[in-house]
């Protein structure tokens, strides 16, 4: 375990190259090689690491899940049976869960930090990327310095019950062995079930019953770092990421975003149509004739 003090706050990054160097520095500080660190991009640096059910104030998660499952067969292209896959599906489609998205890709996380409209954002808005040692979190929560794999038919003996205890009651397998949800969050590595998860190199933390932000849990201070992005450089860094191939359609594996990008790059802006009044030729008033009856 790393017993170092938290790293000092450094200057905000202004280029992708600076960001990459900071990631390397974080890897050295956290004593983890590339591929083992987890990253989470956020659009506002002041936001805490809490899942949707917490920051939205959702107390009845069960009702959301039940309604989602009722309508899922009508929209799904296949049958979903694994409860963790259903829970992750809810998260990916915007329903509040106790899941928090992370990525093993530092550049994917940087993309998510900048995935907002410049027109709608506060000019002083400071995005950021959190970097975490996920093994340290699991060591703290369950004295196991390894990742949990949430799949019904795979998990080291004795640990599958612990993993499933984090599921909501309506998704939890019978005889899971854990009657209550644990207090602290854990880091889980989901089975790769779709192209979006592959592209994003996605992984999750799952909050327990304690709503404390992950970045404020006692004992995690030395296992987390945050890299802030200069507010005035967000558009420039976003452009650099696009040049490196990190575009919305690749990250989201989405045809709508692909089409939108093609239109922006290759289709000229539509000309403004004239108003109906401007479109008609001017007609002299005396040529309209008189509407009076003959004398």
The overall average pLDDT reported for the chain is 82
The answer to whether position 248 is within a domain reads yes
* Residues 193-225: tens digit of each pLDDT: 666 666 667 899 999 999 999 999 999 999 999
Between residues 150 and 167, which one has the greater pLDDT?
Answer: 167
Are 170 and 62 contacting, i.e. CB atoms less than 8 angstroms apart? yes
The answer to whether position 112 is within a domain reads yes
The answer to whether position 105 is within a domain reads yes
pTM: 0.79
* Residues 87-139: tens digit of each pLDDT: 988 998 889 999 999 999 999 999 999 998 888 888 889 999 999 999 999 99
Are 82 and 151 contacting, i.e. CB atoms less than 8 angstroms apart? yes
Q: How far apart are CA 41 and CA 200, in angstroms?
A: 12
* Predicted local confidence at residue 2, as pLDDT: 46
The Cβ of residue 80 has, within 10 Å, a number of other Cβ atoms equal to 14
The rounded Cα 5 to chain-centroid distance in angstroms is 28
The answer to whether position 215 is within a domain reads yes
* Predicted local confidence at residue 151, as pLDDT: 66
In what order do the strands lie in the sheet containing 38-42? 186-188, 202-206, 99-103, 38-42, 128-132, 224-228
Q: Indicate if the pLDDT at residue 3 is higher than 80.
A: no
Between residues 176 and 108, which one has the greater pLDDT?
Answer: 108
The answer to whether position 155 is within a domain reads yes
The answer to whether position 285 is within a domain reads no
Which residues, other chains included, contact 162 with Cβ-Cβ below 8 Å and sequence gap of 6+?
A: 142, 148, 178, 182, 186
DSSP readout, 91-137? HHTT---SEEEEES-HHHHHHHHT-S-TTTS-TT---EEEEE-HHHH
Q: How many domains does the chain have?
A: 1
Domain that includes residue 96, residue range: 16-269
**Considering only CA atoms, which of 142, 151, 159 is closest in space to residue 208?**
142
The answer to whether position 111 is within a domain reads yes
Q: Indicate if the pLDDT at residue 260 is higher than 90.
A: no
For β-strands 186-188 and 224-228, DSSP reports them as unpaired
Q: How far apart are CA 263 and CA 248, in angstroms?
A: 14
Between residues 249 and 43, which one has the greater pLDDT?
Answer: 43
The answer to whether position 90 is within a domain reads yes
Q: Indicate if the pLDDT at residue 295 is higher than 50.
A: no
């Amino acid at each position: 375990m790393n017993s170092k003090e938290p790293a000092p706050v450094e200057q905000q990054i202004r280029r992708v190259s600076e960001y990459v160097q900071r990631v390397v520095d974080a890897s050295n500080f956290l004593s983890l090689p590339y591929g083992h660190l987890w990253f989470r991009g956020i659009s506002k640096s002041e936001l805490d690491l809490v899942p949707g059910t917490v920051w939205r104030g959702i107390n009845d998660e069960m009702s959301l899940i039940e309604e989602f499952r009722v309508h899922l067969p009508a929209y799904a292209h296949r049958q979903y049976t694994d409860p963790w896959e259903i829970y992750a599906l809810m998260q990916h489609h915007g329903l509040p869960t106790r899941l928090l998205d992370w990525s093993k890709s530092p550049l994917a996380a940087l993309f998510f930090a900048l995935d907002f409209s410049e027109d709608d954002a506060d000019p002083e808005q400071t995005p950021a990327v959190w970097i975490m040692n996920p093994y340290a979190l699991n060591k703290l929560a369950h004295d196991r310095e390894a990742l949990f794999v949430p799949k019904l038919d795979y998990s080291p003996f004795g640990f599958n019950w612990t993993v499933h205890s984090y599921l909501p009651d309506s998704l939890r397998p019978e005889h899971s062995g854990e009657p209550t949800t644990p207090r602290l969050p854990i880091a889980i590595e989901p089975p790769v079930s779709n192209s979006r998860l592959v592209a994003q190199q996605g992984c999750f933390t799952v909050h327990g019953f304690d709503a404390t932000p992950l970045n404020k849990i006692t004992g995690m201070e030395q296992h987390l770092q945050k890299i802030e992005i200069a507010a005035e450089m967000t558009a420039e860094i976003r452009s650099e990421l696009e040049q490196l191939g990190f575009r919305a359609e690749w990250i989201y594996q989405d045809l709508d975003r692909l089409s939108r990008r093609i239109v922006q790059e290759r289709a000229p802006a539509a000309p403004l149509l004239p108003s109906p009044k401007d479109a008609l030729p001017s007609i002299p008033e005396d040529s309209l004739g008189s509407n009076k009856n003959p004398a």
